[in-house]
Amino acid sequence: MGDTTLRTSLRNDFAALLPAIVAARLAVLAGWIAVGMLRAGVEPSMRLRAEGLLAWDGTWYRDIAVSGYDSLPLEALRFFPAYPLLARALSWPLGGGVGSVSWTLVLFANVTAVIAAVVIRRLVLAERGDEQLANRAGIALTLFPTAFVLVWAYSEALFLAAAIGFVFAIRRSRWWVAIMLGLIAGATRPLGALLVGFAAIELVRSWRSSTPADRSLGLAAVASPVVGTAGWLWWAQSRTGDLFFPFTSQSDLRGDTVNPLLRLIRGVGELFGTEALGDGLHLPFALAFVALVIVVFRRWPVSYGVYALGVLVVALAAENLNSLERYALNAFPIVLAIAGLCSTPWRQRAAVVVGLGGIAALSCLAWMGTYVP
């Protein structure tokens, strides 16, 4: 009976999500073809396009998985270990060489991206019991404009699968599952530590009705994302002497930490200055994300809004707004807001067009070297 129910559930998941999953990958392919037509033979497009789905951060993850951190520059420590090390372990039966690791990184990212879409669909079904809303949430995650990184060899897919699963487990009081997924999320991306706020709010909400054993497990679940992050920071300190080196080393890329509100205000001026085609381009996205976080607070439990707001604040608290749109994808509750807003057929069609267009365009620009994913 259980196997039959599982097969039926998976069949429903894939019936709802498979067209979007395929379409997203075709959009990435369109971006790859487009950059070849637009910038054939021009650097850095030629090099980045040749790197394919391992472009940008993917080459770092490949080198970490093949050679380990000790053989790479200290800069490699800003890449958290769960994704490359799990890919290395999975590639071992295939020989563990550069080729097998590269394929494993890409395949692992794509599989966990599908898992993330399935889990967010199940989460919405459990929370709202609305199958159409659940389907739209899974599609919105898959077709988010920066979701091309869920096809590339990036750690976002693993993080989203772990983070969404963590939220699902916390909401269902499945503490052991939450502990495991919290550790993975915290060891996959720096933003994983922000899941603590979500878990703490949910634990307080259920505290009075919980048994002492559940409270102890709940506290462990609350701590698990920070423990996952802290373990990596401790290891990195043994090599650099700086406990926060994986964070501080990113200042060369993101600039100094700034007030997020003031950064938004300054972004308005950048729309009309020399940065109009630089950081100024990120401002419309930033304002859209702020609006979506407000929708999350209005329509979903406060814990969802607190997590999404935390991610957005961290993303905006940087002098350089490169990769803002990718960081926003980690604030997955905004996908729930998008799903709720796309309640009519024309809105759904418009969202699909925007999403697929964004995936194709941003992947193309990333391979051209003009957009930093």
**Alpha-carbon gap, residue 97 to 352, rounded angstroms:** 38
- Which tens digits make up the pLDDT trace of 93-120? 888 789 999 999 999 999 999 999 999 9
Integer CA distances (angstroms), 90 to 83, 94, 104, 253, 256, in order:
11, 8, 7, 31, 37
- Which tens digits make up the pLDDT trace of 34-50? 998 887 667 777 889 88
User: Is 80 exceeded by the pLDDT of residue 12?
Assistant: yes
Q: How confident is the model at residue 276 (pLDDT cuts 50, 70, 90)?
A: very low
- Residue 253 token pair: 């890329």
Segment among 189-203, 259-273, 319-333 with least mean pLDDT? 259-273
Decide which of 243 and 279 is more confident. 243
| pLDDT at site 186 | 98
Domain ranges, residue 275? 2-368
Mean pLDDT of 56-77: 95
| pLDDT at site 277 | 46
User: Is 60 exceeded by the pLDDT of residue 315?
Assistant: yes
Q: How confident is the model at residue 321 (pLDDT cuts 50, 70, 90)?
A: confident
> Highest mean pLDDT range out of 37-51, 259-273, 296-310?
296-310
Segment among 74-88, 175-189, 200-214, 314-328 with least mean pLDDT? 314-328
Decide which of 327 and 280 is more confident. 327
| 350 in any annotated domain | yes
- Which tens digits make up the pLDDT trace of 137-188? 999 999 999 999 999 999 999 999 999 999 999 999 999 999 999 999 999 9
| pLDDT at site 1 | 47
Integer CA distances (angstroms), 4 to 7, 106, 115, 281, in order:
5, 31, 19, 49
| pLDDT at site 255 | 62
> What pTM, to 2 d.p., does this model score?
0.95
User: Is 80 exceeded by the pLDDT of residue 324?
Assistant: yes
3-state secondary structure the chain: CHHHHHHHHHHHHHHHHHHHHHHHHHHHHHHHHHHHHHCCCCCCHHHHHHHHHHCCHHHHHHHHHHHCHHHCCHHHHHCCCHHHHHHHHHHHHHCCCHHHHHHHHHHHHHHHHHHHHHHHHHHHHHHHCCHHHHHHHHHHHHCCCCHHHHCCCCCHHHHHHHHHHHHHHHHCCCHHHHHHHHHHHHCCCHHHHHHHHHHHHHHHHHCCCCCHHHHHHHHHHHHHHHHHHHHHHHHHHHHHCCCCHHHHCCHHHHCCECCHHHHHHHHHHHCCCCCCCCHHHHHHHHHHHHHHHHHHHHHCCHHHHHHHHHHHHHHHCECCCCCHHHHHHHCCHHHHHHHHHCCCHHHHHHHHHHHHHHHHHHHHHHHHCCCCC
- Residue 358 token pair: 């964004």
| pLDDT at site 275 | 53
| pLDDT at site 281 | 72
**Alpha-carbon gap, residue 99 to 88, rounded angstroms:** 11
| 182 in any annotated domain | yes
- In 3D space, the residue among 346, 321, 324, 349 whose CA is nearest the CA of residue 334 turns out to be 324
| 189 in any annotated domain | yes
**Alpha-carbon gap, residue 211 to 220, rounded angstroms:** 14
| 373 in any annotated domain | no
| pLDDT at site 172 | 95
Tally of domains in the chain: 1
Q: What is the dihedral of CA 232, 65, 75, 317, to 10 degrees?
A: -60
| pLDDT at site 95 | 81
